[in-house]
Amino acid sequence: MDCIFCKIVSGEIPSQIVKETKHFLAFRDINPVAPTHILIVPKMHIEKPAELASLGDSALGELFTLIQEIAENEGIAETGFRTLFNTGKDAGQEVKHLHLHIIGGRKLGRIG
Please list the active-site residues. 99
Q: By C-alpha distance, which of 85, 79, 80 is closest to 63? A: 85
Q: What is the C-alpha to C-alpha distance for residues 20 and 23, in angstroms, rounded to an integer? A: 8
In degrees, rounded to 5, the angle at the alpha carbon of residue 95 between the alpha carbons of residues 89 and 101 is: 95
Measured from the Cβ of residue 101, the count of other Cβ atoms closer than 10 Å reads 18
